[in-house]
């Protein structure tokens, strides 16, 4: 018998892409509410409590309200795609490559990572955390991260703005450094300081490139660039959604192309300056794939006891070469 699944917020960008991925899956039966009942608290409460799984594709406050609707004895297991619970007690962070597959599989409340933190943490967390391996990089370094995303990451308002303003090509924002993703970046990389984060948006519907510059020669570490690369290879050896570029691979350029297909993986690159001393850790992903809807499906698969990659879109040319 298929598991019942309710997507609260199914009409939003993330909800639509989750539903598209799950529609052909016989393991799940989607519970849907018509446009009028989607705004009815009683209908939402019933759908939430009667489902085996619920996915919240809502603004933060609405996600908190939805969680409050769940009865104490309800069997429903929740994946929250908002940022409301990403550092909250009692919630498991839905990045199984870092958190651990078993932790996600056994969780009743999973908070989906943000798209920018997915890139940041996949690059940095294996190098700064000390839970599975000795850290290679100091947790108290003032890390910086520069990132560019497709405009779909801003939801319907930003999608409409790019459609209406034909001259709009680049948007830098978060200029006062109060971005809501900072807390999860700091917490899940086990950092002393929040990183200095420079996000931006370009005229491409989907896609993301995230860059962490490392002045390795000035840092308090004996680790080399090869050590960092070897750590990635070790940690991600059995992670099908993560691809690590071969040592020394140089694609020449990394591109975001408007009209690119959806993709649920992430590519990691390490670039070293001649003579060493300076590095760039670079991640490329789809902000709507591994950065949102693909990550929801990956966690859902684990929670439902299904193959981790079922329904994921992991084909595609590797940007790094091997």
Residue tagged 């929670």 (tokens): 303
Residue 68, classified by CB atoms within 10 Å of its CB into exposed (0-12), middle (13-18) or buried (19+), is: exposed
197, 177 in Cβ contact below 8 A?
yes
Ramachandran angles phi, psi of 110, nearest 5°: -120, 130
What is d(CA 69, CA 45) in angstroms, rounded to the nearest whole number?
6
SS (H, E, C) 176-234: CCCCCCHHHHHHHCCCCCCCEEEEEEECCCCCEEEEEEECHHHCCCCCCHHHHHHHHHH
57 is catalytic: no
DSSP 153: G
What is d(CA 141, CA 258) in angstroms, rounded to the nearest whole number?
35
CA angle 48, 54, 58 (to 5 degrees): 95
What is d(CA 195, CA 198) in angstroms, rounded to the nearest whole number?
9
Longest dimension (CA), the chain: 64
The residue annotated as part of the active site, out of 57, 115, 130, 239, is 115
CA angle 55, 57, 60 (to 5 degrees): 115
Element (H, E) at 302: helix 294-303
SS (H, E, C) 6-59: EEECCCCHHHHHHHHHHCCCCCEEEECCCCCHHHCHHHHHHHHHHCCEEEECCC
Q: Which are the catalytic amino acids?
A: 115
């Amino acid at each position: 018998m298929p598991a019942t699944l309710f997507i609260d917020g199914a009409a939003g960008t993330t909800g639509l892409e989750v539903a598209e991925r799950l529609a052909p899956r016989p393991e799940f039966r989607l519970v849907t509410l018509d446009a009028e009942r989607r705004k009815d608290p009683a209908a939402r409460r019933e759908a939430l409590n009667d489902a085996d799984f619920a996915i919240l594709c809502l603004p933060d406050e609405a996600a908190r309200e939805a969680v409050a609707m769940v009865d104490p004895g309800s069997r429903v297991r929740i994946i929250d795609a908002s940022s409301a619970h990403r550092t909250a007690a009692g919630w498991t962070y839905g990045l199984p490559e870092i958190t651990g597959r078993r932790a996600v599989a056994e969780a009743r409340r999973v908070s989906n990572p943000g798209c920018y933190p997915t890139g940041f943490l996949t690059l940095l967390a294996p190098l700064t955390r000390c839970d599975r391996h000795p850290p290679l990089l100091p947790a108290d370094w003032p890390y910086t991260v520069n990132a560019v995303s497709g405009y779909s990451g801003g939801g319907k308002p930003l999608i409409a703005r790019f459609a209406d303003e034909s001259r709009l090509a680049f948007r830098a924002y978060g200029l006062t450094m109060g971005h809501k993703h900072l807390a999860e970046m700091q917490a899940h990389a086990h950092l002393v300081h929040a990183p200095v984060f420079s996000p931006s948006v370009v005229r491409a519907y989907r896609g993301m490139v995230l860059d962490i510059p490392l002045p390795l020669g000035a840092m308090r570490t004996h680790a080399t660039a090869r050590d960092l690369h070897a750590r990635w290879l070790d940690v991600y050896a059995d992670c099908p959604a993560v691809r690590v570029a071969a040592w020394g691979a140089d694609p020449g350029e990394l591109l975001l192309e408007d009209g690119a297909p959806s993709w649920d993986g992430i590519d990691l690159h390490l670039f070293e300056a001649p003579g060493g001393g300076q590095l760039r850790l670079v991640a490329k992903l789809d902000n709507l794939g591994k950065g949102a809807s693909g990550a929801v499906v990956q966690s859902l698969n684990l929670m439902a006891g299904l193959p981790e990659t079922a329904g994921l879109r992991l084909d595609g040319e590797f940007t790094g070469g091997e």
